Amino acid sequence: MKLSYGWVVVGVGALMTCIGMGAMMSLAVFLQPIAESTGWSRGGVSATATLNFLCMGVAGFLWGAVSDRFGTRIVVLAGAVLLGIGLVGASQATSLWQFQLVYGVLVGTAAGSFYAPMVAAASGWIQTHRSLAVALVSAGMGVAPLTVAQFASWLNLAYDWRSAMLIIGICASAILMPAALLVRRPRTNIAPGAAAGMVSVAPSEVPMTATQALRTPQFITLALAHFACCACHSGPIFHMVTYAMVCGIAPMAAVSIYGVAGLSGLGGRLAFGALADRIGAKPVLVGGLLLQALAAAAYLAVGQLGEFYALSVIFGLAYGGVMPLYAILVREYFGEKIMGTMFGAVSMTASLGMALGPWAGGMVFDAFNSYLWLYVGSFSIGLAAVAVALAFPTTVHKSPQPVMA
């Protein structure tokens, strides 16, 4: 059986989300070395991550619209170049504001070019196992802690944070630029068994413009759920390594906890994606959000390495598993034509939530020398995400209507 080229696009998407998001999220590994070597506050360095997510969100919406109009290849190629420039430039910053501007704006804007456009491209290629395909693209983010974060940690020990960031920037562009050339537009899909001269309109293709779609209750509710979901897990993820070190865990072991969470997140993406293909995305999303909220609260009860490992498995499974489900719901309701724009818009809202956690965690630690209120807040916001997801309107499916080609 001939393998669809769409799975090549899926593989490229997973690679891009791994390197692109991994390079940006490696700031969590650099946080303590940067603060110690420069004297910059944790809150100030953490605010860079907040700026990352703000820029990634706005850029993701714009990149998604561009990909709908001009194709995904040019978008991810531009992102690959910009990512290298941002990392190399940030490694040479001599003041906190320079670092925040270069790393926060350029790296965040670059990261926004990979996830939403590649999810849209993959979902356009793959029809039968669309949830699995989206989960695999999203799985790149789960692999990032095991690859990019570990690479950054090793470079930090072998050199210093500036040299490590410089090397990551060069490697990221060197890998992503050739990979971008493999991205192609999906072919027009014709349903199996369709009569000659007839095209089957997919049940999920609801004819509407992006402007109309942005005003629907489905978009508003989904965007709010994604915002609260990301606000819940972003702080614990970003401060996971530092929190473990505060609890007395050795630096390399603390990074390995982050890696275990990432590996579990990879499994969660695949498992939740496959389950969504069977029973639907909404019930899986609600269950995953509840598990995520409970896991965030459980951080208040751990302190030993084994406990951190056990909790990171559960937390990673939850936050990783729910991430592809938003794209699946966007594709089911809004269809392929405006998928890039709509998922970019949902991702932009989610990025506001991602921006909240790192900044709030840094400010909480600077003020109280403790992460207690970070996890209390994450738990509360996580429960709010469950409530919003339960209110998500049912997707309206239409019977396929054959139209003349």
Dist. CA 176–CA 327, nearest whole Å:
23
> Is 61 a member of any domain?
yes
Which residues are CB-neighbours of 157 under 8 A, at least 6 positions away? 252
Structure letter (DSSP) for residue 192: T
Q: How many domains does the chain have?
A: 1
- Domain extent, residue 373, equals 6-184+206-394
At 341-368, the pLDDT tens digits run 888 888 888 878 887 877 788 788 888 8
> Is 84 a member of any domain?
yes
Dist. CA 337–CA 334, nearest whole Å:
8
Residue 215: CATH number of its domain: 1.20.1250.20
Dist. CA 278–CA 291, nearest whole Å:
20
> Is 195 a member of any domain?
no
Q: 184 exposed, middle or buried (CB, 10 Å; 0-12, 13-18, 19+)?
A: middle
At 43-66, the pLDDT tens digits run 788 788 878 888 888 888 888 888
Query: pTM surpassing 0.75?
Result: no
Contact of 68 with 100, CB cutoff 8 Å: no
What does the angle CA 8 – CA 10 – CA 13 come to, to the nearest 5 degrees?
110
> Is 362 a member of any domain?
yes
At 159-184, the pLDDT tens digits run 888 999 999 999 999 999 999 999 88
Report whether pLDDT(328) > 70: yes
> Is 152 a member of any domain?
yes
> Is 242 a member of any domain?
yes
What's the alpha-carbon Rg for the chain, to the nearest Å? 20
At 300-317, the pLDDT tens digits run 999 899 999 999 999 999
> Is 277 a member of any domain?
yes
> Is 142 a member of any domain?
yes
Q: Indicate the SS3 state at residue 3.
A: coil
Structure letter (DSSP) for residue 216: S
